Amino acid sequence: DIQMTQSPSSLSASEGDRVTITCRASRSISTYINWFHQKPGKAPKLLIYAASSLQSGVPSRFSGSGSGTEFTLTISSLQPEDFATYFCQQSYNTPRTFGQGTKVEMK
Amino acid sequence: EVQLVESGGGLVKPGGSLRLSCAASGFTFSNAWMSWVRQAPGKGLEWVGRIKDKSNRGTIDYAAPVKGRFTISRDDSKSMLYLQMNSLKSEDTAVYYCTRERSDHGDYCLDYWGQGTLVTVSS
């Protein structure tokens, strides 16, 4: 199985900050990576698919990059509604696997 | 509007069985790949399995921890997805989400999620 390792596991940031979350795959997954965020008690929501494509309706402050084994999710200017837990997921093969999550908290 | 609505969760004893259902609407269900994802309390997301559409032979894949105990099925005439869970263990306690895996244009992503249904395995 492909292991997805996210870092950091948590971070504290302020409104307006630029935030970067990293995900590393245990082997090359090309650009088959997706990013989600999840608020407490809610289902995850797709933000970025295929490493860098913005899901319809998602604000442009979210962006993704990378290929192979190293990927990043960037929030250019953190908004109050962005405080949540972020997950990466590989869709290169099955079983699909997720990163362990990064909790973005208010500083 | 795409909607996925899970039902069937509840409390079950270890070794017991439960069947989850997911009612889909707002898209052509018969053409969709559908997946189950679970989340144990306070933990991360875990992929359970996926069923492809008939044009892809309805192929089903499972995660190792549930293979042989869980069965995913679909009824395209009713736009329903199912998860039959047998020989349940305490570690199966989780919120179970029904999701659609978008598979067109080579983009494989879970673009729609249900609200989830809680399964608790406890004596």
Task: Find the helix or strand (DSSP H, E) in which B121 lies.
Answer: strand B117-121
Q: Chain A closest CA to B61's CA: distance in Å? A: 7
Interchain CB distance below 8 Å, B110 and A34: yes
Ramachandran angles phi, psi of B105, nearest 5° = 60, 20
Which of A43, A96, A100 minimises the CB distance to B114? Answer: A43
**Residues A23-34: what's their mean pLDDT?**
98
Which of A44, A49, A53 lies closest to B45 in CB terms?
Answer: A44
CA-to-CA distance for A10 and A25, rounded, in angstroms?
Answer: 19
- A101 contacts B50? CB cut-off 8 A: no
- What are the backbone dihedrals phi and psi of residue A92, each rounded to the nearest 5 degrees, phi first? -75, -40
User: Please, are residues A23 and A6 in contact by the beta-carbon 8 Å criterion?
Assistant: yes
Cis peptide before A80 (omega within 30 of 0): no
Q: What is the pLDDT of residue A71?
A: 98
Please check whether residue A7 is in contact with residue A102, taking contact to mean a CB–CB distance below 8 angstroms: yes
- Mean pLDDT per 10-residue section of chain B, whose length is 123 residues: 98 98 98 98 98 96 98 98 98 98 89 98 98
C-alpha B92 chain-centroid distance: 13
Residue type, B51: I
Q: Which residues pair with B25 in a beta bridge?
A: B3
Task: Output phi, psi for B50, to 5 deg.
Answer: -145, 145
* pLDDT at res. B12: 98
Asked if A49 and B46 come within 8 Å (Cβ–Cβ), the reply is no
pLDDT (0 to 100) of residue B105: 79
Is A100 within 8 Å of chain B by CB? Answer: yes
- CA B18 to chain CA centroid, Å, is 12
Question: In this structure, are residues A24 and A5 in contact, taking their beta carbons and an 8 Å threshold?
Answer: yes
pLDDT for B107: 83
| pLDDT tens per residue, range A35-91 | 999 999 999 999 999 999 999 999 999 999 999 999 999 999 999 999 999 999 999
- The whole-angstrom separation of Cα A33 and Cα A36 is 10
